[in-house]
Amino acid sequence: MSISETDRALLRRAIALAATAREHGNHPFGALLADANGNILVEAKNTVITERDLTGHAETNLIRAGSRQLAPDVLAAATLYTSTEPCAMCAGAIYWSGVSRVIFGLSAARLTQLVDGTTEKTLSLTAERVLNSGGRHVTVIGPLLEDEALAVHLGFWKP
């Protein structure tokens, strides 16, 4: 499935948010919501370490903020851009939010390869599998710009 230059720019912004999360001592994940015209509505970063909240993943933080700030119809029409494929928890939050389109950079499979041998664990469920297990369809596009998305993770995950 093809994406636009606006989609690429917004995905790169999510990757930049991941770099900022890492700079602040958190896991390198970032996400944002944008409307159909490419206007950024909400941005979020991973805050697992700084907020001492194991559920403080970028996408979950984003959905929490977005659901407080945006009407349900705005959420449903938005695209979620994320530096890395959402985990099962985040995919569940995205599903319940009503967001209908997700674009991600780094695949969960590549992330699993990075964290293998560390204390970090992942779930072997793709975002698409979780998001499309319910009663509505969510378009999932990715991995895209995977080398760029991978770069922010290099050297972060230690045994």
Catalytically active residues are 59
Q: List, in order, residues 6 or more apart from 23 with CB less than 8 Å away.
A: none
Query: Quick check: 138 and 132 in contact, CB under 8 A?
Result: yes
Report d(CA 110, CA 48) in Å as an integer.
Answer: 21
* Planar angle of CA 87, 88, 91, nearest 5 degrees: 85
CA angle 95, 97, 23 (to 5 degrees): 90
97: its two tokens: 């939010």
How far apart CA 56 and CA 49 sit, in angstroms, is 8
Kindly list the strands in the beta sheet with 40-45, ordered across the sheet, starting from the edge strand earlier in the chain.
40-45, 30-34, 79-84, 101-106, 139-141
